Every structure is written in C-alpha cells, then in structure tokens.
Amino acid sequence: MKRDLLSIYDLTSEEIEVILQKAGEIKEMHLKGKHYRPLEGKSLAMIFEKPSTRTRVSFEVGMYQLGGNAFFLNPQDTQLGRGETIADTARVLSRYVDGIMIRTFAQERVQDMARFASVPVINGLSDLLHPCQILSDIFTIWEKRGEYRGLKVAYVGDGNNVANSWINGALRLGFDLWLACPPGYESDQEILSRAIQEASSKIVLTHNLKEAVEGAHVISTDVWASMGQEEKRQDRIKALRAYQVNADLLLLAREDILVMHCLPAHRGEEITDEVMNGPHSIVFDQAENRLHVQKAILTLLMGKGEEDGKRH
Ligand code: CP
Ligand code: NVA
C-alpha cells in the first residue's frame, strides 16, 4: 500500500516519531559529509500552483542528495492550466514518477491527487494545511530542547494553514498549544474541535494574547495575508495589528523562549526586525531543517520497503 502525507492528522504519533528520528539521522550524516542515496533512480514531480522558495528548494535539493531527482511543474506550463483534471494528471504522472508533491489552494485538490495517483503524494501546502512545515518545526523544537511533550507552544496571529497544522501536531505529539487569534481570524473550527476532543494535552484558542504567551516555551507566528489572500491584505493588517510578535510580547514568555516563523516573513507586520534578528529567534535553523525533514519524509514514503504494490 502506498502511503501519502496529506495531513499530520493522518499519521500516528509513532509514525511522526519515526520521521523525526530519521530526520535526525539524515541531518547527522549530511553534516558529516556522508552520502546517503536510498532514492537512486527515483523521481519526484513537484506541482506548484502557488509560489515557494523553501519548499521547492528543499524538496529539489533533498531529492538530489538522496540520489534521485525532482522537477518543477507549474499550471501555466502544463496541461493542468488548460483544464486537464487533477485525476488524469495523477494517473499520468504515476506512470512516470515515484512520488508527487503538490502545493495548491483547496485541500480537496491534494486529496484528489492522492486518490488517483498510484505513487505517494505529499502536501506541500494547501489553504487548509502545511504538514511538512510543522513536522520540521517540531523537529527543530526537539533539536533545541530535547523534547516537545509537555512544552507550551503559543501560536500568535492568523489562524491559517500553519496554525491548523500546529493543532494537528499538538494533538498527535502531546504538547500544549495556545492559539492567540483575533475574532474572525481563528483557525479551522472543525480541526480545532476535533483536536480539543481527542487530545491528551491542552489545546486552547483565545483572543487574549497575554494568556497564550505567558510561560510559553515557544512562540510561533506567520504572515497575516497568506498566498491567495493578497486582496484583503489591508483589512487583515488592521485586524491583526495587535498580534505582532515584538520585544514587549517576549517579556511575557519564559526567558529562554524560542521564536519561530515558517517564513517568508513580513518584517514589521507579524514580527519585528528586532525579534527576527534577536537571540531568541531560530527561524533560519527552522528553515534549514525543512531540508532534513523533507529528506526523511521522501525516504520513508519512496524508499525501499515502500515499493510493494506501489505501482498500478
Ligand atoms: N515556509 C514555506 O513553506 O516557505 P515557502 O513558501 O518559501 O516554500
Ligand atoms: N500561511 C502562509 C504560509 C507560507 C509558507 C501562506 O499560506 O501563504
């Protein structure tokens, strides 16, 4: 049976731990200059219906370092842009490649791709979720703190795809998550309610920034206008202005607070220059880890042992 990575919710805690462990091993080999090429001869198709720097480059470089190759497809240059369906694209690509990564708008497009592809499909971000980002963020916390269970993570700002994946991450891995979002900009209600019901840890949505950040080990934020929301940017800036991650906010958290941002950042909006460049910021380590975690995901989904019954 092929496995996909569409949402952190679909993974068990043990499966996530395997990914994190594998990412640690892969990073260590990489830093020692050791080659590790379990995906020799394999190809990954990467469909981007939205822009990307980190996801595109880390998947592409990751595949190369694992011995395979990856190539970029955008709707304008493929038949997807002329109305070929996701289902037919999935069926055709499955005849050529060993895995598909897709970044798109509706989560349903990711799900359709997975349903009709006979090779593993990875969600490289949708309007609803950004699972690879949060796996990498949790790996980064683990690396910096040696644990994630029992920690308090505060997500501050827009309740978007990144926030939704933080919720799934907290549900599966048992850390406390406090989301501070202004009214009207909360995270997905269904994802949140499900997590609150099923979680062993505390998952709380509040409009009260102070309550969310007090005693937090980690503060994470993201842009106020995600890709596809550019027209509403000015309204969003107004609504979210009070939820900026700045030096005053950090004073409410623990002294050793870690500040995270999935990037790209709009410096001066959701996060100040001072905090981004300051001693608590781990945003570039976080970005670096996308490479190692992506390689772990690719190896586990597309490597040996995952091949039986994969094709057609
Ligand atoms: N964080 C992230 O996914 O960045 P990109 O949009 O540059 O891929
Ligand atoms: N929430 C942002 C994340 C970018 C990586 C967006 O969807 O644009």
- Summarised one tens digit per residue, pLDDT across range 175-220 is 999 999 999 999 999 999 999 999 999 999 999 999 999 999 999 9
Mean pLDDT of 158-162: 98
Indicate where the chain has its CATH 3.40.50.1370 domain(s): 8-130+289-307, 133-287
Pick the catalytic residue from 109, 130, 236, 292.
Answer: 130
Q: Which atom of ligand 2 is nearest to the CA of 55?
A: 5
Q: What is the mean pLDDT of residues 271-299?
A: 98
Quickly state the pLDDT bin for 305 (edges 50, 70, 90). low
Residues with CB under 6 A from ligand 2: 125, 160-162, 222-223, 226-227, 262
Mean pLDDT of the region 95-114 = 98
pLDDT at residue 310 greater than cutoff 50: no
Res 304: pLDDT: 82
Q: Read off the pLDDT of each residue in 157-171 and give the average, rounded to a whole number.
A: 98
As a whole number, mean pLDDT of residues 141-145 equals 98
Closest residue CA from atom 7 of ligand 2:
226
Q: Is the pLDDT of residue 107 over 80?
A: yes
State the Cα–Cα distance between residues 34 and 95, nearest whole angstrom.
32
How many H-runs (helices) and E-runs (strands) does the chain carry?
Answer: 12, 9
Q: Which one of 217, 236, 290, 292 is the catalytic residue?
A: 290
Ligand 2 atom nearest 160 alpha carbon: 1
* CB of 4 closer than 8 Å to CB of 112: no
Q: Residue holding tokens 């590790």?
A: 36
- Region 229-245: mean pLDDT is 97
Q: What is the CATH number of domain 8-130+289-307?
A: 3.40.50.1370
| Token representation of residue 205 | 């949505």
The pLDDT score that the predictor gives to residue 309 is 41
Q: Which two tokens stand for residue 49?
A: 């219906």
pLDDT of residue 180: 98
Region of poorest pLDDT, from 41-50, 236-245, 299-308: 299-308
Which ligand lies nearest the alpha carbon of 289? 1
* Token representation of residue 62: 């990751």
Distance 70 CA to ligand 1 centre (A): 17
What CATH class is the domain 133-287?
Answer: alpha beta
- Say if residue 260's pLDDT is above 60: yes
- Give the per-residue pLDDT at 312: 37
188 counts as catalytic: no
262 catalytic, yes or no?
yes
Give, as one character, the DSSP assignment of residue 72: E
Give CA–CA dist 304/262, Å, rounded.
31
How far apart CA 301 and CA 12 sit, in angstroms, is 15
285 noted as active-site residue: no
Say if residue 74 is exposed, middle or buried (CB neighbours under 10 Å; 0-12, 13-18, 19+).
Answer: middle
What's the pTM?
A: 0.97
**Catalytic residue flag (residue 103):** yes
Ligand 1 atom nearest to CA at 125: 3
Are 107 and 191 a contacting pair, CB within 8 Å?
no
Compute the mean pLDDT over every residue in the chain, rounded to the nearest whole number: 96
| Res 81 pLDDT > 50 | yes
**The two structure tokens encoding residue 18:** 């395997």
Residue 306 reports pLDDT greater than 90: no
How many A from CA of 310 to the centre of ligand 2?
31
